[in-house]
Amino acid sequence: MVGVFVVESAIGPLGVAVDGDAVVGVRFAVPAGSAGSAGSAADHLAARELRDYFAGDLTDFTVRFELRGGSEFERAVWEQIARIPYGEMITYGAIATALGDPGAARAVGTACNRNPIPVIVPCHRVVGAGGKMVGFGGGLDRKRKLLELEARVALTRAWG
């Protein structure tokens, strides 16, 4: 049974859906009172890791997640996105090329927009050619904030 709870974050409330021991969804801008509070061990782990991520204390999520739905191509894109290291960016075109279809950058963008687990599966790390800030299901302001957070944390860790 899927349980949904809300985690407050620097980019607004996030609705987090957990089924068993796996996160299966994250949604932006969840209306107040629309979800319960964390209850299961997986809920608590997901909530703690998201809070730690936004505090700059976590760079790699360990909470288990399941990518459900989507086409075969979308799932392949989501799996590529899940491998992007913290604080790094990759272009839509580079993902398309990695999947064997260099002309599929727009389709990669559509798949990113349909990512069911943003933040944990970091589609915000995917940018346009030349690092251009384009597209994000949560809005460009949220994407910018996520990238700035990661850049700040990476810089702090590198320089102490």
Residues marked as catalytic: 123
Compute CA 24 distance to the chain's CA centroid, rounded to the nearest angstrom: 12
3-state secondary structure of 76: helix
3-state secondary structure of 3: strand
Q: CB–CB of 12/28 below 8 Å?
A: yes
Nearest to 122 by CA among 153, 156, 83, 96: 83
CA distance 82 to 66: 11
Compute CA 127 distance to the chain's CA centroid, rounded to the nearest angstrom: 13
Q: What would the DSSP string read from start to end of 107-123?
A: HHHHHHHT-SSTTTS-G
